[in-house]
Chain A
Amino acid sequence: MTDFRDLSLQGLWKNNPALVQLLGLCPLLAVTATFINGLGLGLATMLVLIGSNVTVSLVRNLVRNEIRIPVFVMIIAAFVTIIQLIMNAFTYELYLALGIFIPLIVTNCAIIGRAEAFASKNGPLASAYDGLMMGLGFTAVLVILGGMREILGAGTLLAGADRLFGPIAENWTVVLFSTENPFLLAVLPPGAFLGMGLLIAIKNIIDAKIAAQQTVTTEKAARVRVTAES
């Protein structure tokens, strides 16, 4: 049966859509100027991903192999339209701030990648869980990158939280420092690329540390099993 623990690990870390698969970089780099923008797009992508994964998984035995890609794209587009209309209705300011990048979720390769690689081969429950975990992994990267850029570029965190959470969040903004000369590079596109590279580098360092620890333990274990062959 499906191993849910492995699915979570794959989505959040080992096979993170943004850090490892490097999919969906266009919205990732374009909208992460602030924490809230990143969170908004991340949640929207996650909902689309869950919806499309479940639907693709349900119709996977009805769709002929030759026409599966157009069918997948149409399913994804339908969910993106639903999300877009919901955001237009309930989080109008965030909808304006994210602009073209909400409809562009259709072209996010992470979503069609999961539909093709996972949902079309697994049952609806596993697919929904995979969508949730992949979406969470993507959202986490968007939020971390958005937070980094917002702190460096504007000195604030959670600016515009009311766009996502409504009037209750109006004074959630944390001002860490204020300056007349904001570090514009962090907010401009180069900051997204530098920040993204930095995140990937940090992930690689952590992976290398873990791998180094594991080889140490396996080496010790291997010594017991030495045979004439080795």
Chain B
Amino acid sequence: MKLSLSSSPHQRVKRDTGQVMRMVIYAMIPGMIAQSLFFGWGMLIQSVIAVISALVFEGLILYLRNRPIERTLTDYSAVLTGLLIAISIPPTLPWWMTVTGVFFAIAVAKQVYGGLGFNIFNPAMIAYVVLLISFPAAMSLWLPPTTHAGITPSFFDSFSLIFTGFTTSGYDVTQLKTIADGVTMATPLDTLKTGLTQGVTYSESLTKPIFDGGFFEAAGAGWGIVSIAYLLGGLYLWKTRIISWHIPGGMLISVFVCASLLHLVNADYYASPLFHLFNGAVMVGAFFIATDPVSASTTPKGRIIFGAAIGFWIVIIRTFGGYPDAVAFAVIIMNMAVPLIDYYTRPRVYGKNADKGRGKY
């Protein structure tokens, strides 16, 4: 009889990297369904483009670096990075921009630093930021949700928009955007931002058509539901202990507190906390992006600080910065601070400095 001897812990859940990554991908499914219901087929086509190019770049660079290709490709980390990029970019982005973003995520942000486990920055967010500062116009072209759009691009329309820039009937994205009664519709965050620069108050912005028909007003049509769907997926991840509550909890509470403080100071100028929580990428960011086990803080206390600081930066950059959304910037800023946070929040080794509390004996 063979007895296996090992040191504690004796009971453990056996999950390898691939399983964890797959479960995160499953948890994204509700959000992705909601997103494609409200924003069309584009996101699914982008997912295919992003995942395929992520696998190709990863394989290519592993080959150049003489690393095992098959084992790394089957850990699904590249697939997850591709999917995270696909859900955060506008669904009608030209395909070569998506591929450029994926290249920066996989080749520069991940493999140059040494591959999975060594990257100090979240690869998907690096891709997003590279695309945002390189192609600011294309990256802010979101079509209005299908509930509000005059014309919803069909599957073939989305396909041809991504690959040629025009629908099968010859419209480009800007035309599709303005076609609903000749009124341009931007994302809720964009609407608020442009409104404020034109002297339109927050409450006046809320009367714009983009805020009709949300499940509650401030969330904006479509966006609120998508956020809720990602929240559900995130709760599943927490329930199955893929992620701990520390980062999402710290981040969401911090967004809520920071936004509430500003909103209480001047409700005309600063959006309500619910607006901040359920618009843009806060929910996806809290559960799927900030919780990246490689680039996030690793100590429990550090994770709360990490999450809370991300939430703080999101509200600050959204309110006072130049870009409407800020999750990517906030995550990357805090990625840089992780070594410092980890250094100051190291758990005390059991027994070390024990006599400090008890006095000498």
Contact = CB atoms under 8 A, between A and B. Distances in A.
**Ranked 8 nearest A-B pairs via Cβ:** A185-B134, A184-B134, A181-B135, A183-B134, A185-B130, A181-B138, A185-B133, A184-B133
A186 B138 CA distance: 17
Interface in B73-103: 94, 97, 100
B232 to A, nearest CB: 35
Q: Interface extent on A, as a size class?
A: under 10
Contacts of B97: 181
A185 B135 CA distance: 8
Contacts of A188: 133
Interface in B94-148: 94, 97, 100, 108, 130, 133-138
Given A181-B137, A183-B100, A188-B133, 8 more contacts: A181-B138, A183-B134, A184-B134, A184-B135, A184-B136, A185-B133, A185-B134, A190-B133
Nearest to B100: A183
A140 B135 CA distance: 30
Interface residues of B, number: 11
B158 to A, nearest CB: 19
Contacts of A185: 130, 133-134
Interface string A154-184: 0000000000000000000000000001011
9 contacts: A181-B97, A181-B137, A183-B134, A184-B136, A185-B130, A186-B134, A188-B133, A190-B133, A194-B108
Interface centre among B97, B100, B133, B138 (most CB of A within 10 A): B133
A105 B130 CA distance: 31
A184 B130 CA distance: 9
Contacts of A181: 94, 97, 135, 137-138
Contacts of A183: 100, 134-135
Contacts of B108: 194
Nearest to A188: B133
